[in-house]
Amino acid sequence: MKIAITGGTGFVGRHLARSLVNSGHEVVLIARGVDRRDPEIRTLDGAVFAPIGINDEEALVRVFDGCDAVAHCAGINRETGEQTYQRVHVEGTQNVVNAARRAGVKRMLFLSFLRARPGCSSPYHESKWAAEEIVRGSGLDYTVIRAGVIYGKGDHMLDHLSHAFHTFGFLATVGMKQKTIRPLAVSDLIKVTQASLTQGRLTRETVAMVGPEEMSLSEAARRVAGVIGKRIVVFPLPVFLHYLIAWCFEQTMIIPLVARAQVRILSEGVAEALPVVGQLPEDLLPATRFTEDEIRRGLPPAGKFGLKDCRCMHERAGSVLGLRRLSE
């Protein structure tokens, strides 16, 4: 099969692309080219990289031509400039659906969030719900996967916790009373996405995906700290202070340690779907536990946060590069 992946250079997109190629499928990676954490993915044997955004319907029609299915994994957890939730999640999804229909694609998988819903005063949650509704009303053979906190090599969770503990040595939990999470291994998610895309499983279904273990964020953090050999101090912090801190991180970091949407997510907990949706069949249920071995496999190289993580340094480097190109 030939499968297009939006957000193809992102965390889930990369893992899905490699799994599909290893299973003998052709892949088209669709991404703006901003995410450069894994440059090798762009030259993956069996895959073609298409440097376009999901705001360009005509370009999407061209790259979808000849594809059997589309995995729509593109998304953002913070708004920057023109990249708003409305433009990316809602308008972008409409473009992907329109292009898929025009190109004759029959099947589509959409990666959503576990607690996406309307009328909850969270632009992130509401835009993800609106995108789901577009997919469900598309007329395509769709699957919507509502995933919780996903971890694995190249993720945000293990990457940021690891660097934070090397830098600060403490964790402020969201709210005075902790909610729970159920960490989902990306390998379990990829198993389900691939079954949907290549085997026709879960047709016209919306299903929830969470990991097999329920725990507090502090418990998950302590497991990560134990693997990297760090002792950490954990204490609660009111939600409103987390929003303030998240806003500061969004203004100063290339990839914020925590974004405001993530504060909302953690303040609610990430253990069960809301609203309630369908469940996976037994053979596709996630079984990978959040163990030391799994954490170790997903950890980035040890290191602290530094100037390389600051937006000001990134923008300065971009300006210097632009000046050099102008002078050539």
CB-based contact 126:120 (threshold 8 Å) = yes
Determine the Cα–Cα distance for residues 152 and 155; give it in Å rounded to an integer.
6
Residue (of 160, 143, 148, 155) closest to 205 by Cα position: 143
Q: Is residue 304 part of a domain?
A: no
Q: Is residue 62 part of a domain?
A: yes
| Count of domains forming the chain | 1
Q: Is residue 63 part of a domain?
A: yes
Q: Is residue 117 part of a domain?
A: yes
The four Cα atoms 269, 275, 277, 283 give a dihedral, to 10 degrees, of: 0
Q: How many residues does the chain have?
A: 328
Q: Which domain holds residue 146?
A: 2-151+184-209
Residue 141 phi/psi, 5° resolution?
Answer: -80, 95
Which pTM does this prediction carry?
Answer: 0.92
Q: Is residue 197 part of a domain?
A: yes
Residue (of 197, 188, 214, 198) closest to 283 by Cα position: 188
Q: Is residue 169 part of a domain?
A: no
CB-based contact 173:217 (threshold 8 Å) = yes
pLDDT confidence of residue 322: 45
Q: Is residue 111 part of a domain?
A: yes
- CATH number assigned to the domain comprising residue 50: 3.40.50.720
List the chain pLDDT tens, one digit each, 328 residues: 999 999 999 999 999 999 999 999 999 999 987 676 788 898 899 999 999 999 999 999 999 999 999 999 999 999 988 899 999 999 999 999 999 999 999 999 999 999 999 999 999 999 999 999 999 999 999 999 999 999 999 999 999 999 999 999 999 999 999 999 999 999 999 999 999 999 999 999 999 999 999 999 999 999 999 999 999 999 999 999 999 999 999 999 888 889 999 999 999 999 999 999 999 999 999 999 999 999 999 999 999 988 788 877 555 544 433 434 333 4
Q: Is residue 10 part of a domain?
A: yes
Residue burial 93-116, b: 16+ Cβ < 10 Å; e: rest:
bbbbbebbbebebebbbbbbbbbb
